Each structure stands twice: as C-alpha cells, then as structure tokens.
Amino acid sequence: MAEAEETEIVESPTVAAQLVAGLLGRGETVATAESLTGGLLSGAITAAAGASSVYVGGVVTYATRAKEELLAVPAELVVEEGVVSAACAESMARGVRRLLGTVYGVSTTGVAGPDTQDGKAVGTVYIGLATAAGSWSVELHLDGDRSRIREATVEAALAELLRALG
C-alpha cells in the first residue's frame, strides 16, 4: 500500500486577520458601534488571532435610544436624517471612538429587512468610520435576505476599515 502524500493546506488570511495584523503593526486600536449587524462585526474581529491587542470593545445600539444615550448621537440628527443615514453612521463611529478611546471607530446601520424603515429600502446600509482626522461614511445597497445583508455589511465594514489603514 502506498503512503499518502502530505498536502500542505495554505489558507489565505481573512480580511479580519489582515485588519488585526495591520493594526498590530501600527500599534493602533479600534472599537465598533453596531446596529443592524448586532455584534457580528465585533465577532468577526475578535475571531482573528491577536485581536485582544487592538480591539478595545464595542456596543450594539439596536434601539434609537441606545444610539443617543451611549454614543451621543444627537436627537436632532435622528429626527432630521434618521438612524439609517450617513450622518448617523458617522456620529455612531465618532461616539464609540470617543467612548472607548481608540484610534478608529467603525459603525454599521441600515435596513436588513424584511421591511423598509423610514422610507429606506431593504439592503440600504451605511458604514461609518472615524479617526482623529475626521469621519466619513460609505453607502451600500445590498441584495439578499436578512442574514446575507448582515454578513455582507460585516465584510464591507472590515474591508473599508482595512482600506483606511492604507
């Protein structure tokens, strides 16, 4: 009987692993503020080895009241722009960055479905990012069911944060 050959399995690093490695290399930290992803983003980051050195923590602010009370999202902003907006995403990212004292703050807000929210279609998502230099957001229009929209949001947030590292 012939011996089986050993096959080396080489896995490509996940985006989360690349992000954690990038933050480690720079000595920088990140915090998350999640709405529609409900903790999936923080779960993805903490699944990567070394995350404890760069991931300070996160908050799930599913309710509007939580966004206002924990992240200092202004009530006027919620009334004028809505919670599914670029302005809210940026405010959430700034709020969690300030709350946890990190270099980066990243947030997710949007409509995972099955129903529209505040006139926004299912799949409308905003990712907010904040640094000492300022804040910005990315608007996405995603397809799929609730689970797929949430997963795609996490993937996009990780990619956007990795892009921000340069």
Q: Could you tell me the two tokens for 50?
A: 């070394």
- Domains, the chain, ranges and CATH? 35-165 (3.90.950.20)
Identify residue 67 by its one-letter amino acid code: K
Whether the pLDDT of residue 153 is over 80: the answer is: yes
Would you state the pLDDT for residue 3?
A: 53
Q: Could you tell me the two tokens for 75?
A: 């009530």
Would you state the pLDDT for residue 13?
A: 78
Would you state the pLDDT for residue 6?
A: 56
Would you state the pLDDT for residue 9?
A: 47
What digits encode the pLDDT tens for the residues 92-111?
999 999 999 999 999 999 99
What digits encode the pLDDT tens for the residues 2-38?
555 554 544 567 999 999 999 999 999 999 999 999 9
Would you state the pLDDT for residue 11?
A: 53
Would you state the pLDDT for residue 10?
A: 46
The span from the CA of 130 to the CA of 29, in Å, is: 12
Q: What is the mean pLDDT of the chain?
A: 94
Is 137 strand, coil or helix? strand
Q: From the centroid of its chain, how far is CA 153?
A: 7
The span from the CA of 102 to the CA of 109, in Å, is: 20
**Does the pTM of the predicted model rise above 0.85?**
yes
Average pLDDT over residues 33-60: 98
The span from the CA of 124 to the CA of 88, in Å, is: 13
Between CA 27 and CA 35, with CA 29 as vertex, the angle to 5 degrees is 160
Say which residues have a Cβ less than 8 Å from residue 10's Cβ, sequence separation at least 6: none
What digits encode the pLDDT tens for the residues 61-70?
999 999 999 9
